[in-house]
Amino acid sequence: MTKRFFLTFFLFVCTLYANNQKVSAIKIHGNNRIENQTILSYLPIKNGDTADIDALDQCLKVLFDTGYFHDVKVHRKDSVIFIEVEENPIINKIAYEGNEKIKDADFKKEIQLRPREVLSYAKIQAAQQRILEIYRRLGRFSAKVDPKIIRLAENRVDLVFEIEEGPTTFIRKINFVGNKNFKGTRLEKVLQSKVWHWYRFFVNDDLYDPDRFLNDQQEIKKFYNDNGYPDMRLISSIAELSPDKTAYFLTFTIDEGRKYNFGSVKIISDIKSINVNSLQECVSFEKGDEYNAALIDKTIKKLTEELGTLGYAFINIEPEVKKNAEIGVADIEFSIKEGPRVYIDTIEIKGNDRTRDYVIRREIKIHEGDAYNSKKIKDAEQALKDLGYFKEVHVQPEEGSTIDKAKINVDLEEQRTGELNVGLGYSTLEGPFTTLGIQERNFRGTGQTVHSNATLSKISTGLELGIREPALLDRDLEGSAKVFANQSKRSKSHKERIFGSGLGLDYALSEMWWQSLNYNIRSEKVFGFNSDASSIIRNQSHNALLSSVGQTIYFGKLNSRRDPTKGFVLSYSTEFAGVGGTVKYLQHVWAAKFYYPLFSDEVVLKVMGETGMMQRIGKPIRVVDSFHMGYDSFRGFDFQGVGPRDKKTGDPLNGTRMWRNVVEIKFPSGLPDDWKINASVFHELGALWKPGERDRDTQDSQSMRASAGGGVLWTSPFGPIGMSYSFPYRRQKYDVARRFQLQFSNIF
């Protein structure tokens, strides 16, 4: 017992002595490519340091973490530390086998490994997971990736990823549990994820995407909150993968809660100088309306805007919803409170490698030194997104140099803004046609749009070059300029050739008023007359120079400029030809458009009316300058199929007086939404009369023409295809009907 005690004590003393002994040398073995000095630079200990067991363990960990070594051994003998390493090999080549759906180049963009790099097993695993993630984005959740290492001479290796792509994993079914007031088909329309169908081969939203699935959950909650159910709870959301990994099944379990209507609405203010009674017009709903969270947000926005115009920059508006579940009524109280006084310190813009700073700053309606306004910051982010120059836009505030100042960070990621469009198409008017267009929406980073378009069809050829400046003279003025040339034979009696240019200026007068001004000058030549062409057309000026100024003033508001479903626009246009040149006339056009959703935003009533007149100044108004009507401007009739005609030749003479009215209802076709086919029924009325010049053989009538019909518009993967069939049930015997119209084009 005593001997064992003394032996243990002796070993402890020796170990303690060794641990406290200073390092006299560090010797490295096994390294071929990596220099000793490089390895020594990573070590936490140096000559002259004392090194205990923990220090040696740290050396081992640090060397492994470099990724240069496959194996590392560290031990000491007396005061000398020995390090033995086995270097990782160098990658000679990276290859992919079995991949048909994804190109090798796409993998190279995504993974971090490169030839001539040191091979790391951690990097191999990361690359393997990244490849699997790429396949999952394509809906191939059963894909397999097996990395193989082929060893070569001089400690080099070829790395081969053997891939089994597997079948595509589609969403086969979407289930809703607990939905009593809304059918599953209605809720499916809210989701971004869609169920697979055989005809959905040009989209990928029927592939399972975890991010899309998370967004779907938010969309369902928003839908219920906007349709009277603020107590709705999403109990669970499950995405189940089938055992064979070929299908996903999505299940949403819902507790709808009870339905609410709006009760009393009250606005209170902690700021005594604010007259809350004058703010009642900002409330976007009334007592008894169905509860809608979007209308509450809209009201807050209106209140913020109104108070901002009154000079209250530092306010917070907090809505309080008081629900009475017994009667299903929600009282709303908007509380206006004074917020902290914070001013904008600096606005820092990052990521705009191409777009110039001033182009970005003019979209930000808040500047250094202004009062902090969260709405203007959100508006700036949306305005930058609307430009279409950036893939990602983030406008975020952070604390500035002092507590009462805020710094605004604008982080951008630019995207391509150039477009090359080649189109092929067919219409019953033009026949087969082709188009070529080049457009750059952010020319040299200035925000200017430059474009060129060329068209070629059986009856016309055209070319246009143009430029648009969205902030002329650094003001809210949109300027444009263009040059154009066109030759057409839309009229059966003659050909027309036009060369010209134009200038335009657009600006807003207020939220609901805006105006456009324009100047055009063009040289016109009428030639190629048929032997039996109308004498009126043959005797009019064959060569003319038209110089005109014009304006259009608009009043109204639409919920969308591109595809409106609600709102109205009234307009009045004038054009005066005679600012020099050889052609003189004065033209007026009054127009109105109304859009109204009938049962939902998908069923829209459109009512359009216009009337116009042209006044002669000196010489008679030529046929080529007059109003014409037909085809797309009056369905059921041919191009220039309505209006005065030469009795002998049948040539259209057009007119200087016109009116037209259209009532149209657009609605879903009843086919699957994914087909993107909408239908419409329409009724058109109109008249065109009083040609600029007439003789005894002129046929003319103020009588109303009328047609009715229906059509479909298919937004196909190949481009929009429109068809309509009209019945012109009221017309003059000399009018030319065209009942069927077809037009499609493809851009690629």
Task: Check whether 8 has a pLDDT greater than 50.
Answer: no
Please state, for a pLDDT cut of 70, what percent of the chain lies above it. Answer: 93
The two structure tokens encoding residue 464: 């246009």
> Which residue stretches of 195-286 are H helix?
210-225
Name the most confidently modeled range: 18-32, 61-75, 294-308: 294-308
Are 239 and 135 in contact by the 8 Å Cβ rule? The answer is no
CA–CA distance, 435 with 431 (Å, rounded to integer): 13
The residue type found at 600 is S
Which among 101-110, 419-428, 530-539, 613-622 has the top mean pLDDT?
613-622
Residue 139 or residue 143, greater confidence:
143
User: What is the value of pTM for the model shown?
Assistant: 0.64
pLDDT confidence bin for 748, thresholds 50/70/90: very low
pLDDT at 178: 92
Quick check: 356 pLDDT over 50?
yes
CB 348, CB 409: distance < 8 Å: yes
pLDDT score of 717: 63
CA–CA distance, 264 with 321 (Å, rounded to integer):
10
Span 59-86, average pLDDT: 80
Query: Would the CA dihedral through 492, 494, 498, 504 be positive or negative?
Result: negative
Q: pLDDT tens digits, residue range 320-350?
A: 999 999 999 999 999 998 877 788 888 999 9
pLDDT of 626-646, one tens digit each?
Answer: 999 998 899 999 989 999 999
Which single residue is written with the structure tokens 């054009």?
575
Q: Tell me, what DSSP letter sits at residue 739?
A: -
120 sits in which H/E element = none
Yes or no: say if 702 and 689 are a contact pair by the CB < 8 Å rule.
Answer: yes
Per the DSSP assignment, residues forming a β-bridge with 349 are: 410
- Alpha carbon distance 372, 314 (integer Å): 7
Higher pLDDT, 631 or 253: 253
CA geometry: angle at 46 spanning 42 and 47, to 5°? Answer: 150
Residue 423 pLDDT exceeds 70: no
pLDDT for 464: 93
Judging by DSSP bridges, how do beta strands 170-177 and 247-255 pair with one another?
parallel
Chain mean pLDDT for the chain: 85
User: In CATH, what number does 343-414 get?
Assistant: 3.10.20.310
Structure tokens at 570: 């009234």
Question: Is residue 30 over pLDDT 80?
Answer: no
Tokens representing residue 669 in the block: 């076709």
pLDDT at position 203: 66
Among the listed ranges 34-43, 469-478, 619-628, 723-732, which one has the minimum average pLDDT value? 34-43
Question: Has residue 12 got a pLDDT over 50?
Answer: no
Q: Name the CATH code of domain 90-164 (choices 3.10.20.310, 2.60.40.10, 3.30.565.10, 3.40.190.10).
A: 3.10.20.310
Where in the chain do CATH 3.10.20.310 domains reside? 18-87, 90-164, 170-255, 261-338, 343-414
Please check the confidence at residue 519 and state whether its pLDDT lies above 70: yes
CB count in 10 Å sphere of residue 578: 16
Sequence-separated (6 or more) residues with CB below 8 Å from residue 27: 80, 81, 82, 83
Whether the predicted pLDDT of 658 surpasses 90: yes
Distance CA 740, CA 623 (A): 26
Q: Coil, strand or helix: which one is 471?
A: coil
The two structure tokens encoding residue 667: 């609605």
Residues of the chain above pLDDT 90, percent: 37
CA distance 358 to 477: 15
Assign 44 a pLDDT band (cuts: 50, 70, 90).
confident
Quick: pLDDT tens for 186-218. 898 889 888 887 766 666 778 888 888 888 999
pLDDT 10s digits, 438-479: 889 889 889 899 999 898 888 889 999 999 999 888 888 999
Question: Which top CATH class is 18-87?
Answer: alpha beta
For position 199, what pLDDT does the model report?
A: 65
Q: Which CATH architecture has domain 261-338?
A: Roll (3.10)
- Assess contact for 373 and 366: CB atoms under 8 A: yes
What is the reported pLDDT for 168? 80
Q: Encode pLDDT of 582-592 as tens digits.
A: 999 999 999 99
Q: What's the topology of domain 170-255?
A: Ubiquitin-like (UB roll) (3.10.20)
Name the residue type at position 184.
Answer: G
Give the pLDDT of residue 313.
65
Higher-confidence residue of 328 and 19: namely 328
Q: Give the CA radius of gyration of the chain.
A: 37
Classify 316 as helix, strand or coil: strand
Instruction: Judge contact between 694 and 536, C-beta under 8 A.
Output: yes
CB 733 within 8 A of CB 712: no
Residue 258 neighbours by CB distance under 10 Å: 15
Mean pLDDT of 284-300: 91
CATH topology of domain 440-670+687-698: Porin (2.40.160)
Q: Find the mean pLDDT for residues 155-167.
A: 86
Rounded Cα distance, 666 and 660, in Å = 19
* pLDDT greater than 80 at residue 16: no
Q: Specify which residues 439 forms β-bridges with.
A: 419, 451
